[in-house]
Amino acid sequence: MDWKSAKVYGYMIEPDIQVNINQSRIINIKLLTNEKSTSAIKLRKTMMRLFIYLLENADNKVIGNEEILTNVWDKYGLSSSSQRLWQVMHCLRRKLSMLGIAEDFITRTEEDHVRGFCINKDRVTPIYYFDAKNL
């Protein structure tokens, strides 16, 4: 198989959380059989786009607020603001914590006068698939 034709299906976060990009779903595989716990959540488009952008750029560096606003809102014809970013990020973190993802998975930080967010790359593994017509 040619890895150049591989596409990202989603991500694994730590051992139990699966992110399905196409369905905009995040699933805690370990909790699927527990009826009392939240085992899956579905995110709205902008929130999912924000989360995927952070995961794609998770290399232990600060992803600046302006970069996020441009790539998650502006490029899609949406109105962006720092307040909107804070609001969506706050809701995203709350939803992730419902699935058991640690509060420090997404950290707000400042580095070299750039305010933004950071994800620990060591906790994220991409899941790839190959398009059948390219095999």
Tell me how far apart the alpha carbons of residues 34 and 36 are, in angstroms, rounded to a whole number: 6
Q: What is the CATH number of the domain that holds 34?
A: 1.10.10.10
What is the enclosing helix (H) or strand (E) of 66?
A: helix 65-68
Residue numbers of the domain that contains 58: 3-130
Burial of 9 (0-12, 13-18, 19+ CB in 10 A): middle
Using CB atoms within 10 A of its CB, is residue 114 exposed (0-12), middle (13-18) or buried (19+)? middle
If you compute the radius of gyration of the chain from its CA atoms, what whole number of angstroms results?
A: 16
Residue 135 in any domain: the answer is no
Q: How many domains does the chain have?
A: 1
Residue 61's pLDDT is: 85
Q: pLDDT by residue for the chain (135 residues), tens digit each?
A: 566 778 889 999 988 999 999 999 999 988 766 666 678 999 999 999 999 999 999 887 899 999 999 999 999 999 999 999 999 999 999 999 999 898 889 999 988 888 999 998 889 999 998 876 655
Rounded-to-integer distance, Cα 74 and Cα 87, Å: 16
Does the pTM surpass 0.95? The reply is no
